[in-house]
Amino acid sequence: MVRTFVALELSGEIREQLKEAQQVLRGCSARLTFVDPALIHITAKFLGEVDDKTLVQVQDVLKKIAFTPFPVHAGLVTVNNPKRPHTVWCAMDDGGNGERLLGLIEAALTPLGFPRESRKFTPHATVARVKDSDPSLFTVLDQLKGRDYGTCMVTGMKLKKSTLTPRGPVYEDLLEVKW
Protein backbone atom coordinates (compact mmCIF):
# COMPACT_ATOMS: atom_id res chain seq x y z
CA MET A 1 0.00 0.00 0.00
CA VAL A 2 1.22 3.44 -0.93
CA ARG A 3 -0.09 6.74 0.52
CA THR A 4 -0.71 9.03 -2.47
CA PHE A 5 -2.12 12.35 -3.60
CA VAL A 6 -2.37 14.45 -6.77
CA ALA A 7 -0.40 17.70 -6.50
CA LEU A 8 -0.06 20.94 -8.43
CA GLU A 9 3.46 22.31 -8.12
CA LEU A 10 4.29 25.91 -7.30
CA SER A 11 7.28 27.90 -8.52
CA GLY A 12 10.48 28.21 -6.52
CA GLU A 13 9.79 31.95 -6.28
CA ILE A 14 6.45 31.39 -4.51
CA ARG A 15 8.03 28.81 -2.20
CA GLU A 16 10.79 31.28 -1.28
CA GLN A 17 8.21 34.00 -0.55
CA LEU A 18 6.26 31.57 1.65
CA LYS A 19 9.49 30.64 3.43
CA GLU A 20 9.77 34.32 4.39
CA ALA A 21 6.17 34.21 5.67
CA GLN A 22 7.14 31.20 7.79
CA GLN A 23 9.93 33.28 9.35
CA VAL A 24 7.36 35.90 10.39
CA LEU A 25 5.07 33.16 11.76
CA ARG A 26 7.91 31.92 13.97
CA GLY A 27 7.44 35.15 15.96
CA CYS A 28 4.15 33.98 17.48
CA SER A 29 3.65 31.86 20.61
CA ALA A 30 1.44 29.26 18.92
CA ARG A 31 3.05 25.84 18.55
CA LEU A 32 3.39 25.35 14.79
CA THR A 33 4.91 22.61 12.67
CA PHE A 34 6.26 24.15 9.47
CA VAL A 35 6.10 22.55 6.04
CA ASP A 36 9.50 22.27 4.36
CA PRO A 37 9.34 25.08 1.74
CA ALA A 38 10.58 22.66 -0.95
CA LEU A 39 7.46 20.54 -0.35
CA ILE A 40 4.83 23.31 -0.46
CA HIS A 41 2.22 22.54 -3.14
CA ILE A 42 -1.51 22.59 -3.86
CA THR A 43 -3.20 19.25 -3.20
CA ALA A 44 -5.74 18.61 -5.94
CA LYS A 45 -6.89 15.23 -4.58
CA PHE A 46 -5.77 13.11 -1.64
CA LEU A 47 -6.12 9.41 -2.47
CA GLY A 48 -4.86 7.83 0.74
CA GLU A 49 -3.52 4.27 0.84
CA VAL A 50 -3.56 2.64 -2.60
CA ASP A 51 -2.57 -0.94 -3.45
CA ASP A 52 -0.10 -1.68 -6.27
CA LYS A 53 -2.73 -2.91 -8.76
CA THR A 54 -4.94 0.14 -8.26
CA LEU A 55 -1.90 2.42 -8.38
CA VAL A 56 -1.20 1.28 -11.95
CA GLN A 57 -4.83 2.00 -12.88
CA VAL A 58 -4.65 5.43 -11.23
CA GLN A 59 -1.57 6.30 -13.27
CA ASP A 60 -3.24 5.09 -16.48
CA VAL A 61 -6.33 7.27 -16.01
CA LEU A 62 -4.42 10.35 -14.83
CA LYS A 63 -2.19 10.20 -17.94
CA LYS A 64 -5.30 10.67 -20.09
CA ILE A 65 -6.44 13.91 -18.42
CA ALA A 66 -5.85 16.85 -20.73
CA PHE A 67 -6.01 20.40 -19.41
CA THR A 68 -4.71 23.83 -20.32
CA PRO A 69 -1.90 25.42 -18.26
CA PHE A 70 -3.26 28.12 -15.96
CA PRO A 71 -1.91 30.83 -13.65
CA VAL A 72 -2.19 30.70 -9.87
CA HIS A 73 -1.62 33.68 -7.63
CA ALA A 74 -0.45 33.14 -4.05
CA GLY A 75 -2.56 35.47 -1.94
CA LEU A 76 -3.42 35.83 1.73
CA VAL A 77 -1.65 33.72 4.37
CA THR A 78 -4.36 32.81 6.86
CA VAL A 79 -5.81 29.89 8.83
CA ASN A 80 -8.31 27.28 7.70
CA ASN A 81 -10.71 28.10 10.56
CA PRO A 82 -10.30 31.21 12.76
CA LYS A 83 -12.24 29.64 15.66
CA ARG A 84 -10.29 26.35 15.66
CA PRO A 85 -7.20 26.74 13.45
CA HIS A 86 -5.53 23.51 12.40
CA THR A 87 -3.67 24.78 9.36
CA VAL A 88 -1.91 27.98 8.29
CA TRP A 89 -2.21 28.19 4.53
CA CYS A 90 -1.72 30.51 1.61
CA ALA A 91 -4.93 31.03 -0.34
CA MET A 92 -4.47 30.56 -4.09
CA ASP A 93 -6.44 32.34 -6.80
CA ASP A 94 -6.62 29.99 -9.77
CA GLY A 95 -9.65 31.46 -11.55
CA GLY A 96 -11.65 28.31 -10.82
CA ASN A 97 -9.29 26.11 -12.82
CA GLY A 98 -8.38 23.89 -9.86
CA GLU A 99 -12.02 23.05 -9.28
CA ARG A 100 -12.54 22.24 -12.97
CA LEU A 101 -9.41 20.07 -12.96
CA LEU A 102 -10.57 18.30 -9.80
CA GLY A 103 -13.84 17.49 -11.60
CA LEU A 104 -11.84 15.70 -14.33
CA ILE A 105 -9.65 13.92 -11.79
CA GLU A 106 -12.67 12.71 -9.84
CA ALA A 107 -14.49 11.60 -13.01
CA ALA A 108 -11.42 9.50 -13.86
CA LEU A 109 -10.93 8.07 -10.35
CA THR A 110 -14.53 7.41 -9.23
CA PRO A 111 -14.80 4.24 -11.39
CA LEU A 112 -11.71 2.96 -9.55
CA GLY A 113 -13.51 3.27 -6.21
CA PHE A 114 -12.27 6.67 -5.01
CA PRO A 115 -15.11 8.72 -3.51
CA ARG A 116 -15.78 12.23 -4.74
CA GLU A 117 -14.75 15.04 -2.42
CA SER A 118 -17.72 16.26 -0.37
CA ARG A 119 -16.19 19.66 0.43
CA LYS A 120 -15.85 22.50 -2.07
CA PHE A 121 -12.34 22.74 -3.50
CA THR A 122 -10.40 25.61 -1.90
CA PRO A 123 -7.04 26.01 -3.63
CA HIS A 124 -4.36 26.57 -1.00
CA ALA A 125 -0.82 25.67 -0.05
CA THR A 126 -0.24 24.55 3.53
CA VAL A 127 2.53 26.57 5.20
CA ALA A 128 2.26 25.18 8.76
CA ARG A 129 0.12 22.97 10.97
CA VAL A 130 -1.20 24.37 14.24
CA LYS A 131 -0.44 22.08 17.18
CA ASP A 132 -1.50 24.58 19.88
CA SER A 133 -3.11 27.88 18.95
CA ASP A 134 -2.42 31.19 20.67
CA PRO A 135 -3.90 34.69 20.10
CA SER A 136 -0.44 35.86 18.99
CA LEU A 137 -0.92 33.78 15.82
CA PHE A 138 -3.56 36.24 14.63
CA THR A 139 -1.34 39.22 15.47
CA VAL A 140 1.41 37.74 13.30
CA LEU A 141 -1.06 36.90 10.50
CA ASP A 142 -2.11 40.57 10.52
CA GLN A 143 1.54 41.48 9.84
CA LEU A 144 1.40 39.31 6.69
CA LYS A 145 -1.74 40.96 5.26
CA GLY A 146 -1.19 42.75 1.99
CA ARG A 147 1.95 40.81 1.08
CA ASP A 148 2.27 39.35 -2.39
CA TYR A 149 3.75 35.89 -2.78
CA GLY A 150 3.77 35.77 -6.58
CA THR A 151 2.14 34.12 -9.55
CA CYS A 152 3.16 31.04 -11.50
CA MET A 153 1.81 28.81 -14.24
CA VAL A 154 0.55 25.33 -13.40
CA THR A 155 1.59 23.28 -16.41
CA GLY A 156 0.70 19.81 -15.19
CA MET A 157 0.00 17.62 -12.21
CA LYS A 158 1.93 15.00 -10.28
CA LEU A 159 0.92 11.83 -8.54
CA LYS A 160 3.00 11.75 -5.39
CA LYS A 161 3.84 9.08 -2.86
CA SER A 162 3.88 10.37 0.72
CA THR A 163 5.87 8.54 3.37
CA LEU A 164 5.27 9.83 6.88
CA THR A 165 8.34 9.99 9.11
CA PRO A 166 8.99 11.51 12.56
CA ARG A 167 10.84 14.35 10.81
CA GLY A 168 7.94 15.08 8.44
CA PRO A 169 6.66 13.64 5.18
CA VAL A 170 8.93 12.50 2.37
CA TYR A 171 7.44 12.91 -1.12
CA GLU A 172 8.33 10.95 -4.22
CA ASP A 173 6.98 11.67 -7.70
CA LEU A 174 5.29 8.59 -9.15
CA LEU A 175 3.87 10.26 -12.28
CA GLU A 176 4.03 13.66 -13.95
CA VAL A 177 1.36 14.70 -16.45
CA LYS A 178 2.29 17.77 -18.49
CA TRP A 179 -0.24 19.77 -20.51
Instruction: Write out the catalytic residue numbers.
Output: 41, 124
Half-sphere exposure of 142 (CA within 13 A, CB side): 6
Q: What is the DSSP string of 98-138?
A: HHHHHHHHHHHHGGGTPPPPSSPP--EEEEEEEEE--THHH
CA–CA dist 120, 102 (Å, integer): 10
What is the chain's alpha carbon radius of gyration, rounded to the nearest angstrom? 17
Extended strands (E) in the chain: 2-9, 31-34, 41-50, 70-79, 87-93, 124-132, 151-154, 156-165, 168-178
**Residue 87 is which amino acid?**
T
- How far apart (Å, rounded) are the C-alpha atoms in residues 11 and 151? 8
Q: Is beta strand 70-79 parallel, antiparallel or unpaired with respect to 31-34?
A: unpaired
Q: Integer distance in angstroms from the first to the last C-alpha of the chain?
A: 28
